[in-house]
Amino acid sequence: MPQLLPPTHRILERPFMEFRPFGRDSKGHTIQDVSGITVRANLEYLETLVTRQHGVEAAPAALDKLIILLNERIPDRTYHVTVDFLKNPWNSYSYEFVMFLAEFSIQLSEQPDYHFNMGREKFLSPIVQILGRPFSIVQIYRLFPYFVEKFTKGSLKPEVVSVTNGHAVMRMQFSESALAQFGPYLRGCAERVCHTTKATIAQVPAGMFGQQPATIQDTCCIAEGAPYCEWTFRWSPQSSALWVWVFAGTALSLVTLGLTMTLAPHYPWWSHTGVSLLPLFILPLTGQIWVDRKELQERGAIIQEQLASAEQQHEELREAYLQQEQSLIKVRRHNDEIEALNLGLEAKVEGRTSELQQANLDLETANARLKELDRMKSQFLSHCSHELRTPLTSIKGFTENMLHGMVGPIAERQHLYLTRISANANRLTRMIGDLLDLSRIEAGTVRLDHQSVSLPNLLDDITQEFMPLTQTKHQQLIVETTGENLTIWGDPDRLHQIVTNLIHNAHKFTPEHGRIVVSAHPDPPNHILLSITDSGPGISQEARTHLFQAFYQAHRRPEIGTEGLGLGLSIVKQLVELHGATITVDSTLGAGTTFYIRFPQTASPATSTSI
């Protein structure tokens, strides 16, 4: 049982209803805590109050507002309600839903005693009045549990403690289901239900027998922490009219006895007594016949009312049946439409499936063709590269011989031209090398000779090779290594190619007097992180997304030796991945670029064999 809140805390403090409002609960049981007659009476009373206060036009708007407020608190749109739905007496609802309805009704009616007044004016329904007419007030109060069960179906537990003519004591408790729905707001909900119930009970003498309403004395209440609500009711006792006829018969018998003894004193005493007793028997008998006749007339009227009520219920049932039939027709029409749509959809799906199958075949054919073209391209590049290498080697050799004066002295302009020829031949050689590497990688023919490689030694060798090149631009080339055992698992030549390519790019795009930093340090648990940082112009975010694509160039420099095919970084990335490593880039425009390579220290299962 949750901690109970004071009765001033209402169930509207819940942001949403936690239980289904109608239909079936989560266990599949039919929800019937409160009858639809009760909910309809609530709406009709709200209409009456709003009409009294603001006019006829305001009542529909108030009901529409009530529906909006209720639907805002129902999380599942399947259970959203309408005014017509709530006015259907054949529905039944959960007690949680009814308490939300009650609280919103109080807000819209602007009447604090809404529930008590509704119990007196509306909850003693015509059906109950008709069913109870043949009984006395005492009998009706004894039937109190029956009438409560008719409209709450076990959610309330009424009890008759005692009933006498003019006095009755009643109790009421909630079922476990209702307690679970109210939760910590039990006391606030009990106060509302208590007011409505006791007002309805007190109205029985007035509503059914034309007397004053019974007075109410609260003995205890769940809202105040008691285990049940208990009330004492008092009303004017009912008396029978037959005693008047008995009294009249007795008086007439005495008068008759006096007259007979005066007018006929000579008759024996037993004849006087017999004659005087006749009125004592005849008048009560006549009174009983009159009372019975009156009761028969009343019961005839009650039967007529019951027949009229039955006719009304029959009409309501007939109307509900017709609505159900109409709904069934609509459902069948919708089913026919859905079946027609399904047939059309199946045809469309079959058509689209055929189109997709044909498209897949076309894609497979195109993919096979692309693979063949890619293979032919790689083969073409490989053959062309091999064929170009031989004449390029001759051109480089003869150019170097002429520059070294092996064919005689040359003029200054001739030396300049030969220098440019040599530089472009070297650039063309590097391009051909890149093309060969790319075609081998794509063809899967690159073989790696894995072994332990000391990263500090590798970096020292490469920086010594770059030292003359960096000095021409007055650049600083700094190597920083921290930690012990900076040994990685890989192919020394390919690792040399990776680092050389990255340092060469850094040299190209770092301005004169710039700075290039090559750093290596352990990256726990079993990796080494190599970074190469330059102070160049940086790379934009858009360019970084395409940086490792083949033939893509983030910068174009017109100076000699800085243009290429854009294959270097693509080859670097693929060689890095063949080593089981990863490469990333971080750059800020105007502040330089850093490439990070994360190498494994030990042999990787994916790269422990030649590829």
| DSSP string covering 222-252 | GGGT-SSEEEEEE-PPP--THHHHHHHHHHH
pLDDT in tens, 1-35: 578 999 999 999 999 999 999 988 888 888 989 98
Nearest of 375, 514, 525, 500 to residue 433 by alpha carbon = 500
Q: Residue 605: its pLDDT value, please?
A: 43
pLDDT at residue 560 is higher than 50: no
Question: What mean pLDDT is predicted for residues 79-103?
Answer: 92
pLDDT in tens, 118-159: 988 887 766 666 666 667 888 888 888 887 887 777 789 999
Per-residue pLDDT at 293 exceeds 80:
no
pLDDT of residue 233: 95
What band does 607 get if pLDDT is binned at 50, 70 and 90?
very low
pLDDT tier for residue 298 given thresholds of 50, 70 and 90? low
Mean pLDDT on 93-109 = 94
Helix-strand-coil split of the chain, %, nearest 5? 60, 15, 25
> Minimum mean pLDDT among 147-151, 247-251, 469-473: which range?
247-251
Instruction: Report whether pLDDT(351) > 70.
Output: yes
Percent of the chain with pLDDT strictly greater than 70: 79
Q: Which long-range contacts (CB under 8 A, 24 or more apart) does 47-50 make?
A: 48/121, 49/109, 49/111, 49/114, 50/108, 50/109
Q: Which of 49 and 564 is assigned the larger pLDDT? A: 49
Q: What pLDDT, in 10s, does the model give residues 412-459?
A: 888 788 888 877 777 777 777 766 666 677 666 677 888 888 889 989
The pLDDT of residue 604 is 46
pLDDT at residue 611 above 60? no
Tell me: pLDDT of 95 over 70.
Answer: yes
Kindly report which listed range (133-137, 225-229, 243-247, 335-339) carries the lowest average pLDDT score.
Answer: 243-247
Among residues of the chain, what percentage have pLDDT more than 90? 29
- pLDDT mean across residues, the chain: 82
Better-scored residue on pLDDT, 65 or 237: 65
525 upstream amide cis, omega within 30 of 0: yes
SS3 category, 82: coil
Its pTM surpasses 0.75: no
Distance CA 166, CA 336 (A): 65
- The stretch 563-584 carries a mean pLDDT of 82
Burial of residue 118 (number of CB atoms within 10 Å: 0-12, 13-18, 19+):
buried
Region 483-502: mean pLDDT is 86
Q: Using one digit for the tens of pLDDT, what is the confidence trace for 255-281?
A: 776 777 777 677 776 666 766 666 666
* Predicted local confidence at residue 129, as pLDDT: 67
In this prediction, residue 594 has a pLDDT band, given cuts at 50, 70 and 90, of very high
| Pair 543, 454: CB distance under 8 Å | no
* Mean pLDDT of the region 489-517: 89
| pLDDT at 241 exceeding the cut of 60 | no
Mean pLDDT of 251-255: 71
Q: Is the pLDDT of residue 373 over 70?
A: yes
Which range is least confidently modeled, 152-156, 181-185, 595-599?
Answer: 152-156
422 CB-near residues (< 8 Å, 6+ apart): 396, 399, 400, 403
pLDDT, residue 445, reads: 67
Residue 69 burial (CB count, 10 A):
17
